[in-house]
Amino acid sequence: MRISKSGNLGAEVVGVDVRQLSDQDFSAIYQAWLDCNVLVVRDQHLQLADYLRYSQRFGAVTPHPSKSTRHPDCPEITVLGVNKFRADGSLNNDIYRRGAEGFHTDGSYEDVPFKATQLYALAIPTVGGDTFFSSAYSAYEALEDSLKKLLADKTGQFVYGGRIKDNALLDPADRHRKPASHRLIQVHPETGRTLLYFDQRKILSIDGLSAHDSDAVIDTLSVMMADPPNQYRHQWRKGDVVIWDNRCSYHKAAGDYPADQDRIHWRVSINKN
Could you list the residue range(s) of the whole structural domain that residue 157 is in? 2-270
- 107: domain CATH number? 3.60.130.10
pTM (predicted TM-score): 0.92
Region 216-242: mean pLDDT is: 95
| pLDDT over threshold 80, residue 20 | yes
3-state secondary structure of 146: helix
| pLDDT over threshold 60, residue 57 | yes
- Residue among 256, 110, 124 at smallest CA distance from 177: 110
Least confident of 97-101, 154-158, 176-180: 176-180
| pLDDT over threshold 80, residue 52 | yes
Q: Specify burial of residue 119 (Cβ count, 10 A radius: 0-12, 13-18, 19+).
A: buried
Least confident of 154-158, 190-194, 201-205: 201-205
**Confidence band of 176 (pLDDT split at 50, 70, 90):** low
Q: Specify burial of residue 1 (Cβ count, 10 A radius: 0-12, 13-18, 19+).
A: middle
| pLDDT over threshold 60, residue 169 | no
Q: What are 194-215's pLDDT values in tens digits?
A: 999 999 989 999 999 999 999 9
| pLDDT over threshold 70, residue 163 | no
| pLDDT over threshold 90, residue 123 | yes
| pLDDT over threshold 70, residue 5 | yes
Instruction: Count the domains in the chain.
Output: 1
pLDDT, the chain, mean: 93
